[in-house]
Amino acid sequence: MSSTTSGATEEHAVLRQAAEWFAALHADDAGAAERDQWRRWVEAAPEHRLAWQKIEAVNQQFGMLPAEPTLAALKTPYTRRSAAKKILLLASTVALGTAVARRDSREYMTALAAGERTAVGEMRRLALADGSDLWMNTDSAVDIDFAGGLRRVALHRGEILLNSGRDPVRPARPLVVDLLGGRLTALGTRFGVFRSGATARLAVFDGSVRIELDSGHSTIAAAGTQRHFGADWIGAAEAADEQQSAWTRKRLSVDRMRLGDFVATLARYRRGHLGCNPAVADLLLTGSYPLDDLDRILAALEKSLPVRVQRVMPWWVTVEPA
């Protein structure tokens, strides 16, 4: 096992222990003995404290359970108030790393105010005024503007699939998707775009798409290829798989996909934490799965692979070795 894999496995194990402690402390029969044991565990190593902060960050983000009882138990009564303030600040900072830090960004606020949005787990089709079909995947946000001589879609977050229609206006207006300081121009095509933070993936299924970045980089992606890109770079052409668009039919279709990548994809369709133990992340998976029934998918994993699904809490689920 490589040092990187070993470290990831150890981190995962500590995080799972923290989740188990969180569940134990919020059980109806939790008492002083459990709180004392938990306090000793947290103070035993910096890794334990960091894992605990991450657990509380998830809890605070989704508002599932109150955090005050465990915060109050962290230190002796003499230092309880200052300790609670410190840990609350740390927990808030960690939560903002995946949520609030993003919320303070211009991109997050723009997505929040977007004209079209989908919730986590929602997939929706929009019929545009020019006859184009726009599919929005889970947790996505776009603005649509057909004024000013353009048919413009601005992708602020998430994933879309666009099947371009024939513009009834003459001369025909360019159909473009704007994101990450650049523009994608459809050249009679069907293509998908997935935006994740500061990077994006363009997959072209029919026709071709021109990529033009404000930094000056540009290229044309042909049918059957995909390109990853950022604000100032464009990756090499790779093969695109038609199955990448299966989400428009509420399916997740994969061919020899790593289990770790598969679980990370599923996590986009589910609130809370869905993770994969690094010890089983390299197992390969092939099949077609219903995205509107994630519990069914998780049950299928247990039947087809040497894994088990551990539900420490309703919002904290991990795929572990069997």
**CATH number of residue 290's parent domain:** 3.55.50.30
Same domain, 133 and 203: yes
* pTM (2 d.p.): 0.73
Which of 75, 103, 131 is the last residue before a domain boundary? 103
Q: For a pLDDT cut of 70, what percent of the chain falls above it?
A: 81
Listed residues 228, 244, 260: the one ending a domain: 244
Whether 178 and 117 share a structural domain: yes
What percentage of the chain has pLDDT greater than the value 90?
A: 59
Residue 118 belongs to domain with CATH number: 2.60.120.1440
Give yes or no for residue 80 having a pLDDT over 60: no
Give the separation between CA 275 and CA 283, rounded to whole angstroms.
14
**Can you tell me which residue has the tokens 């709180």?**
35
pLDDT digits 0-9 by tens, 169-181:
999 999 999 999 8
- pLDDT confidence of residue 59: 66
Residues 167 and 258 grouped into a single domain: no
Q: Hey, which residues does 220 pair with through a beta bridge?
A: 210
pLDDT of residue 87: 33
* Across 157-166, average pLDDT: 95
> Residue 278: is its pLDDT beyond 70?
yes
Instruction: With cut-offs at 50, 70 and 90, classify the pLDDT of residue 67.
Output: very low
Residues 93 and 164 in one domain: no
Q: Are residues 86 and 212 in the same domain?
A: no
115 shares a domain with 201:
yes
Mark whether 79 and 153 lie in a shared domain: no
Q: Answer yes or no: are the C-beta atoms of 190 and 203 closer than 8 Å.
A: no
Give the tens place of pLDDT for each residue, 242-270. Answer: 999 999 999 999 999 999 999 999 999 99
Distance CA 10, CA 18 (A): 13
Q: Are residues 133 and 240 in the same domain?
A: yes
Q: What is the pLDDT of residue 137?
A: 97
Q: 207 lies in which domain range?
A: 109-244
Residue ending a domain, among 194, 216, 244, is 244
- Nearest Cα residue to 160 out of 221, 114, 117: 117
Please provide the average confidence, as pLDDT, over all residues in the chain. 83
Q: Provide mean pLDDT across the span 145-151.
A: 92
Note whether 33 and 141 are same-domain residues. no
Q: How many domains does the chain have?
A: 3
Confidence label for 208 from pLDDT (cuts 50, 70 and 90): very high
Same domain as 88, residue 51: yes
The CA distance from 252 to 313, in Å, is 25
Please check whether residue 187 is in contact with residue 207, taking contact to mean a CB–CB distance below 8 angstroms: yes
User: What's the pLDDT score for residue 98?
Assistant: 44
Say whether both 75 and 119 belong to one domain: no
| Contact residues for 110 (Cβ-Cβ < 8 A; gap 6+) | 141, 156
